[in-house]
Amino acid sequence: MNEFFDLEQWLRWFAGLDRSFLFLLVLPFVVAMIGLWSWWVEKEKVEGEADAPAAQPGPPPVGERRTRERRRRAAGRLPQHGFR
């Protein structure tokens, strides 16, 4: 049982491993950590949206209103075929 907890033996074993094998040994743990991290970030985002007060739709700002009106007028001048 002492051999299992011997850090020196574990370090020698890791040092003797092929680098490509070590990469393949560690890769599933890295993928799992990234998956858990992305799940946690998404969960926090959804909870943050649920906690935020609902936005009251109000009138658009003056500049945006003018832009919408200008686009609406310009769209009305398009010929039937849709080309400009």
Interval 17-41: pLDDT, tens: 898 988 998 999 999 999 999 999 9
pLDDT tens digit string along 36-81? 999 999 988 888 777 766 666 666 677 787 888 888 887 776 666 6
Alpha-carbon span 51 to 38, nearest angstrom: 20
Q: 0.85 cut: is pTM over it?
A: no
pLDDT of residue 35: 94
- In the chain, where the domains are located: 23-50
The three-class DSSP label of residue 8 is: helix
For range 4-25, the mean pLDDT: 89
pLDDT above 60 (res 84): no
The H or E element containing residue 83 is none
DSSP string, 48-77: HHHHSPPPPP-PPPHHHHHHHHHHHHHHHT
Distance CA(50)–CA(72), nearest Å, equals 35
